[in-house]
Amino acid sequence: MTIKIEAITLREIQMPLVHFFETSFKRTFSRQILLLTAHCDGINGWGECVAGEDPYYSSEWTESAWATIKNYLAPAVLGRTLSKAGESVPLMARVRGHDMAKAAVENALWDAEAQEKQMPLWKLLGGTLREISCGVSIGIQDSVEQLLEKIQTELAAGYRRIKVKVKPGWDVNVLERIRSRWPEIVLSCDANSAYTLDDLEHLRKFDQFNLLMIEQPLWHDDIYYHSRLQQELRTSICLDESIRHARDAAKALDLSACRIINIKVGRVGGFTEAKKVHDVCASRNIPVWCGGMLESGVGRSHNIALSTLPNFRLPGDVSASKRYWKEDIIEPEVVVTPQGTILIRDAPGAGYRVREDLIEKLTVRKETIRAGTAGTT
Ligand code: OSB
Ligand code: MG
């Protein structure tokens, strides 16, 4: 069985969030999402590029991903016949970085391969879990009262771990309020690189809250100084931004820079590398969990499939569609059980139907690239 890549369609869709999402770097009200369709012998594989609207989480953004796919990545794979989606990785390797753009291409091909094999994507990836554990990531709010209300809602919905975003001025004071109301819940925080080692004495105060982890406290590209910080803290550090591939994961673990790793399939450049990061962590008995990037249903369904690998031992930032969107672009939308889990679907491919009619309505830009029509060689 093979997949012949005949054309790639890029689409930009606009999707307003039901509630704004604020991190230490930005408040987002609406997502500008790049969707990719790989047209392969009558099969359409779907991928989502998780780059943000701005180059604030990482250096990639929607525009850089669009241009990189159009001019370099699509031409590298178009016209090729692959026996496995993972064979696209070396074809795109000449391009340095641009991992989220690469992941959109590779993951669409995994979806196509799974459809062509009439197999669920999660099985093709080597997954074993039939039910995955869900947490929520709750952004910075206008007031602590608002945040507490949101936490209350998510706990009532069954979510198994609450993660709150922190930054200087919205951290110890906030964690104190949460812990005094809920002394026992599984709680973590994510700084998205808002601190430096000069904040060591301040960061020590986080230790009193019995957090499951503190995510990416220091620089987005740093591993070494996180290892210095981890030595000083009781709380486990989890790395997100600074793990770009399996070598980064191995290095971080060699240096004891963290005790937990967040895997985002877009950040590491696609399913092939995500599996490698997973395996590196598994071999060292380091638990991983699946991060989120405010994905639409396409990316969300891929995160769900990835989360079935056995070392995804902690609740991920993989939560219900309705927390983000009035209407999601897949059917059924992603639902979470009252026990805070997602049940894995067995339909071929990613397991959900892509609502092309709705996508068409949300599309603000669209371009199809065919072999020999665009790009650089
Ligand atoms: O650091 O995990 C992060 C969203 C955008 C950029 C970075 C992050 C996040 C989240 C949201 O925490 C997770 C989600 O609910 O999709
Ligand atoms: Mg994070």
Summarised one tens digit per residue, pLDDT across range 95-113 is 999 999 999 999 999 999 9
- CATH assignment at residue 63: 3.30.390.10
CA distance 195 to 190: 11
- CATH assignment at residue 232: 3.20.20.120
pLDDT band at 372 (very low <50, low <70, confident <90, very high): confident
Does residue 54 have a pLDDT over 80? Answer: yes
Does residue 2 have a pLDDT over 50? Answer: yes
Does residue 373 have a pLDDT over 80? Answer: no
Name the 3-class secondary structure at 35.
strand
Q: How far is ligand 1, taken at its centre, from the CA of residue 291, in Å?
A: 7
Domain identity same for 89 and 197: no
pTM of the model: 0.97
pLDDT band at 1 (very low <50, low <70, confident <90, very high): confident
Residue whose token pair is 């993951």? 107
Domain identity same for 195 and 239: yes
Residues whose beta carbon lies within 6 Å of some atom of ligand 1: 23, 57, 137, 190, 192, 240, 291-294, 317, 319
Does residue 45 have a pLDDT over 60? Answer: yes
- ω into residue 332 within 30 of 0, thus cis? yes
CA distance 24 to 146: 17
C-alpha closest to that of 190 among 246, 260, 248, 130: 260
CA distance 47 to 108: 4
145 CB-contact burial (10 Å; exposed 0-12 / middle 13-18 / buried 19+): exposed
* E strand or H helix at 17: strand 7-22
DSSP 226-269: HHHHHHH-SSPEEESTT--SHHHHHHHHHTT--SEEEE-TTTTT
Domain identity same for 25 and 141: no
| pLDDT score recorded for residue 114 | 98
CA distance 25 to 143: 18
Domain identity same for 156 and 77: no
Domain identity same for 149 and 280: yes
**Number of Cβ atoms within 10 Å of the Cβ of 359:** 21
C-alpha closest to that of 348 among 113, 131, 128, 105: 113
Does residue 61 have a pLDDT over 50? Answer: yes
Could you give the number of structural domains in the chain?
2
Strand pairing of 43-49 and 81-82? unpaired
Domain identity same for 43 and 130: no
Domain identity same for 348 and 368: no
| pLDDT score recorded for residue 377 | 43
C-alpha closest to that of 257 among 206, 208, 221: 221
CA distance 136 to 1: 39
31, 317, 322, 334: which to mutate for ligand 1, most atoms within 8 A of CB? 317
Are the C-beta atoms of residues 340 and 284 closer than 8 Å to each other?
Answer: no
DSSP 52: B
pLDDT band at 63 (very low <50, low <70, confident <90, very high): very high
Are the C-beta atoms of residues 215 and 188 closer than 8 Å to each other?
Answer: yes
Domain identity same for 130 and 246: yes
Average pLDDT (145-163) is 98
Strand pairing of 27-40 and 136-138? unpaired
Domain identity same for 313 and 223: yes
Domain identity same for 193 and 97: no
Does residue 366 have a pLDDT over 80? Answer: yes
Q: What is the span of the domain harbouring residue 292?
A: 123-352
Q: How far is ligand 1, taken at its centre, from the CA of residue 121, in Å?
A: 23
| pLDDT score recorded for residue 374 | 52
Q: Which atom of ligand 1 is nearest to the CA of 190?
A: 1
Residue having the nearest C-alpha atom to atom 6 of ligand 1: 293
Q: How far is ligand 2, taken at its centre, from the CA of residue 236, in Å?
A: 14
Residue whose token pair is 């490698």? 276
Does residue 371 have a pLDDT over 50? Answer: yes
CA distance 334 to 317: 13
Domain identity same for 265 and 319: yes
Average pLDDT (103-128) is 98
| pLDDT score recorded for residue 376 | 45
Domain identity same for 342 and 239: yes
Name the 3-class secondary structure at 94.
coil
Which residues are CB-neighbours of 133 under 8 A, at least 6 positions away?
160, 161, 314, 315, 316, 340, 341
pLDDT tens figures, 283-321:
999 999 999 999 999 999 999 999 999 999 999 999 999
| pLDDT score recorded for residue 30 | 97
Q: Which atom of ligand 1 is nearest to the CA of 192?
A: 1
How confident is the prediction for the chain on average, in pLDDT?
Answer: 97
Catalytic residue numbers read 165, 264
